[in-house]
Structure 1
């Protein structure tokens, strides 16, 4: 997700919630200057989801000082034996921040890395994103936003350890140095961090510290094995789905077959008769619908109970989406006037010597993480605890508090390791967390006080909504024989993922969702008129790894390549010329990929062709040069060379893994069957048998190379995805002589 850094006011319903929760006392907004209140909502709109409401008012009256996000005690625990535990302020769901963030802190701390481990945080205020002021893992911001924060945390703790040693030895702190988890004195005397930790943490936290010179980094920039590698490779890693509590019951929910449908009748006799079933509960569902939860001793009994339910649904009040009809509606909408993102003069388009008229179609896409959605809720004595792999623990905790009728400060979220997510665990509606809370609430009302673990099946996950939106692009481009673009008239039709969410006030401008157009035109200085239409459709949509760049990169990079082919220009040279001097990072990444791939120098195997694409997302640039073949209409991707510019690299191994994973997910968009379709309002796909994901046999060779830079790091969780599909498509177009204008690829 990209976020404009503009201050905005909290949406009215969130302001009302703040005031309601403060009933009986001064509302959170009262007594705060307007400017101070706006700052609470700056950048995210979820500040109250991050902080207990009483804390907001109290903190506003405190003198300026260190924030919770700057306190080492919230992030660092050094045991007496010197073992060091670092808390991460993000969800690790495969991207490796459980190692990379501790590397940053440990480097400044001077810790013994062999004795460092890490744990997830919670919805405590200390663990908000220091830039956004909310709990979030998204927008490739974990390292980018917390790099300086974690360096300063390590430096503060190191200064306190040195101060404690100086006091013990009665020497000046400046005479001491640290190395590998020890403080070393002027006479060579040594004390381990474990021996000093208790005294050090009792000292005042320094407000300002001097950070290391990067030339002295010991961990940052070094290829480092992941702290969770042994647990994951041996099957010992626990995820949210593995939570076990005494007396735990498992819930499986029958969701409406059409989004927002309601129950007409429920016959649960057969379900209740199944051994292990404890209750059948009717609960509210997402998007105004209704659902039925079966609560049992374990998953299998709960699933059998759900399968035995006899339910009749009423979908008369909701739209029943049909994919074929939807595409026709989108095509009609593309011809209508709409709001403009860019408004260049395109009157000369019809007079251009060369013209391209193109239509692109992109389907809905499911996130399909390996670990389906789950959440465990325990409610006791007016408090609740949640165990969930969430990208937004503050928001999810607030949502659960609202359902359970509890003050937000009485809900604690224990963030769990998650088996993938790609955006699906960051839901403004908190759909599956709300569902778990609804089940727990209904169970309590039925006299059941046991903790409840909600589990979705793979089928629930594929059919459960919040997809990457379906999009239609149309483009008319006029250019001359040298490839100089004279006019580019472009239309995007697709649902807004932000409409109706708390992000809308800052990210929907002039009726245009900023995530839908990110990546359009850039990095090319071209005269573009861009019109955007956001129809309302009864299909829940959400960001999907790399968000709008999943489709905008494909359109831009395949059209640029088509212009190069039409004018008989080398696609790399043409891009370099069109990029100009304004985007040196694009040029550097592209040139690196070209040089390392052997593009234009080595001879390809018979039947293979080069494909090229470059794209920036989340402030990082990735260029791909690929080798592909086309046999009997079936495209195959053989080799990928990546050039990456993400400034300073923290852990080269994690970066390589992120690019490889992003490329593989980009490849998934190309595979036949990689589409969510609807008929009569119901999703037609249900599992990996009819929703395609890449198998190991589809994985190409991938070589990852990075541009050296000392600038502060940018994110890499998502940028590896967008340029893969267009690079592959460009190679296929060179082999077939036909442009690829649709994802997934059509064969034959």
Structure 2
């Protein structure tokens, strides 16, 4: 009886736990309005919720939990909250938010789920819901995936509206009127009698009001800030030099460190003689540092200024252990990636119908192989991190996209709890995904540990930054498609192979076992809107000793090139205009069709092209791509000089990214993304010889210069939908638009990046 009671009791307990888990999953996501601890305030400041503080002088401080790396996220998010608050925009400022779960980025993980955008099944909705609940509790305060505004659109609106309601309640009580008699405008509460009070005058009373359970949000027609091209909040500081980036952290008694890292990626020190270095003037200490978080090991030198630390590296004598990348060359790496496609089809991300049967019956079948190389991030601000370590505490000043991960790894290296590390998020002089990594933070913490009590700023040189990146993975794709006798697309097969980013990131930062699939490597291939009657799209993960990471637009950055160029190939094989051919595949997607038709009209598609000023012929190419929810169409005007130099004269860009919170920010990011993508399309490639990166600086990993930059004309589609991605979405289409223009101009179909004419 005891045994039977134990068994049935255990079954009952399991059932109860299961019921609790099921019950938890169906509950709504926990609130994102109030922090677990009150916000820190100064002077007469009061916090009305976890997102906004108001001072007696009527200034409004909005908490920022996303990193500002040039994309304008601080301005965009502040506009959303200030809109619902009815704040005086001239009195708005921003402040970095403290660590708290309400600031976790839910949308970036939801966007990473491997579903097609057209998949609206219950399983998709349930997965989205559960993921949001989980990330609210165990997620990360992350900036990436073009998710800043889309993730915080509702929390920021609700925070502003809630604070506004509390201010109105305070005014109504003071004036002994009903709340419905009051309205707000420009940082004031107003009454029909002519009475008014600023938010600052009401803030203390408002803070004593109960938090409203539910508040009405504005209709888009009532917006006064959202939709306007307001100046950026950080513009003045960046103009007058008062803006503070990671490299500008200058605490008292600062020391500087430089690191000589193993030339081979992922290598480490076998033996080092540092005696000559420590004898140098100003040198404090020299010692070996191991690899951290998937990075590379080396020898660090701490000195009283950065120049002396760097100069002392030249005196080091080091024997290196090159590690698993020894012998890795670009040719061998690409051969291994291509060989993976010979073995199997990999994981299937999308399938419709029997594509093999359809292609066997097609009137015409086209095959092609496309390739994309490894790429570095090349952010203008090189890698740096400043750390001050005490016995039971540390301060870290760093430009990071993931402050929680950075704090956790600094704490681990210093044998502290995360709450003992004060992490100061500085502005980022470019991120593009490189500052999602923690290798340089752990390294800087290990270096500062050697001189307890003194802050140490570790700075990498540009060549170290280029040679020890987490690179955009190289990728090979094989595509096959068929047409019927009328030139209609009937079947589409796309198989790609390359390294997977998410499994490697989870392993190096969290110690997770490598998961078998990674949506980010196939995005841009399987999630596009074209109506393929039959299709199969798959990707094979390849294990290689090259460190890879997220790069602006991630898989979209190369899959868009493969997909949009091959669509053009099929249009040519069908004898149809590329815009007309695409339009026929978009009949079920009116938003995409509108973007395509608008960029065609904007660029004068179909009209004869005038020659360039020097008399050289020009041609147009088109590309359409969806990423991070947004739809972008681009047309590039291209010519080829006598020496076969490719010249891009103009790029037309049309974007549908939902509600355009600030058109200025969107246009800036469109231009930035196009130039970033054009640099990769025409000029950039990371190559390896015996595991060593061959590119050292911008002279051999160039960016498009001002003299060569095309004119860019951007049009934003009006929309009342929630904001979608903008920071990365204009990078993917530019390479295929240029490649397709080159085919129209020269008849050469270029299937490898960077684009080079024979």
- Post-superposition offset of 1:627: 1.2
Q: How does 1:118-133 map to 2 (within 5 A)?
A: 118-129=94-105, 131=107, 132-133=135-136
Q: Which residue in the other structure is 2:520 paired with?
A: 515
TM-score (ref. length: structure 1) = 0.87
2:73 is equivalent to residue 97 of structure 1: yes
Aligned length, in residue pairs: 689
Corresponding residue for 2:659? 648
In the aligned structure 2, how far is the partner of 1:277 from the partner of 1:302? 7
Q: 1:722 aligns to what SS in structure 2? A: coil
Partner of 2:91: 115
Aligned to 1:68: 35
- Aligned equivalents of 1:693 and 1:530: distance in 2? 32
Gap runs ≥5 in structure 2: 1-15, 40-46, 108-134
2:679 corresponds, among 636, 647, 668, to 668
TM-aligned CA deviation for residue 385 of structure 1: 2.0
Alpha-carbon distance in structure 2 between the residues aligned to 1:38 and 1:463: 48
Counterpart of 2:741? 731
Per-residue deviation, 1:550 = 0.7
- 2:343 is the alignment partner of 1:339: no
Q: 1:136 to 1:316 in 2, by over 3 A?
A: closer
Residue 490 of structure 2 is aligned to residue 472 of structure 1 = no
Cα 1:479–1:435 shift into 2, 3 Å: same
Aligned Cα root-mean-square deviation (Å): 2.7
Q: Which residue of the other structure, out of 434, 437, 441, is the alignment partner of 2:442?
A: 434
Please say if residues 463 and 696 of structure 2, whose CA atoms lie closer than 8 Å, have aligned partners that are also in contact.
yes
Aligned-partner SS, 1:335: helix
Is 1:604 the counterpart of 2:610 in the alignment? Answer: yes
Structure 1 segments unaligned to the other structure (5+ residues): 1-31, 43-59
Q: Is the 8 A contact 1:388 1:413 kept in 2?
A: yes
Answer yes or no: is the 8 Å Cα contact 2:48–2:206 preserved in 1. Answer: no
> Deviations for 1:468-505, whole angstroms, at most 9, x for unmatched residues?
00111122333234332343333211000112443999
Distance of 2:347 and 2:100 partners within structure 1:
41
Q: Give the drift of 1:508.
A: 11
1:355 counterpart SS class: strand
Contact 2:364 2:484 in 1 (8 A): yes
Does the alignment pair 1:293 with 2:300?
yes
After superposition, the Cα gap between the structure-2 partners of 1:187 and 1:288, relative to the gap in structure 1 and judged at 3 Å, is closer
Matches within 5 A, 1:475-554: 475-502=479-506, 511-521=516-526, 522-526=528-532, 527-554=534-561
Deviates more, 1:635-644 or 1:646-655: 635-644
Q: Trace 1:309-328 onto structure 2 (pairs within 5 A).
A: 309-315=316-322, 319-328=326-335
Look up the match of 1:580: 587
1:631 corresponds to which residue? 641
Q: Which residue is 1:25 aligned to?
A: none
Q: Distance in 2 between matches of 1:704 and 1:524?
A: 24
Name the counterpart of 1:26.
none
Match of residue 244 from structure 1: 250
The answer as to 2:92 corresponding to 1:82 is no
From the superposition, tell whether residues 619 and 251 of structure 1 become closer, same or farther in structure 2 (CA, over 3 Å).
same
CA distance in 2, matches of 1:84, 1:253: 43
Do the aligned partners of 1:346 and 1:488 also contact (CA within 8 Å) in 2?
A: no
**Compared CA separation, residues 143 and 38, structure 1 to 2 (3 A):** farther
Say whether 1:267 aligns with 2:273. yes
Greater shift, 387-396 or 724-733, is seen at: 387-396
Q: Which moved more, 1:119-128 or 1:527-536?
A: 119-128
Separation of aligned partners in 1, 2:483 and 2:95: 55
Give the 3 Å change call, closer, same or farther, for CA 96–407 of structure 1 in structure 2: same
* 1:694 paired to 2:698: no
Change (3 A) 1:638 1:317: closer
Q: Spell out structure 1 runs of 4+ moving beyond 4 A.
A: 32-42, 63-67, 69-72, 316-319, 507-510
Match of 2:114 in 1: none
Task: Report matched runs for 1:26-175 at 5 Å.
Answer: 67-68=34-35, 72-129=48-105, 131=107, 132-133=135-136, 134-175=140-181
Distance 1:201 1:624, change over 3 A: same
Asked if 1:722 corresponds to 2:689, the answer is: no
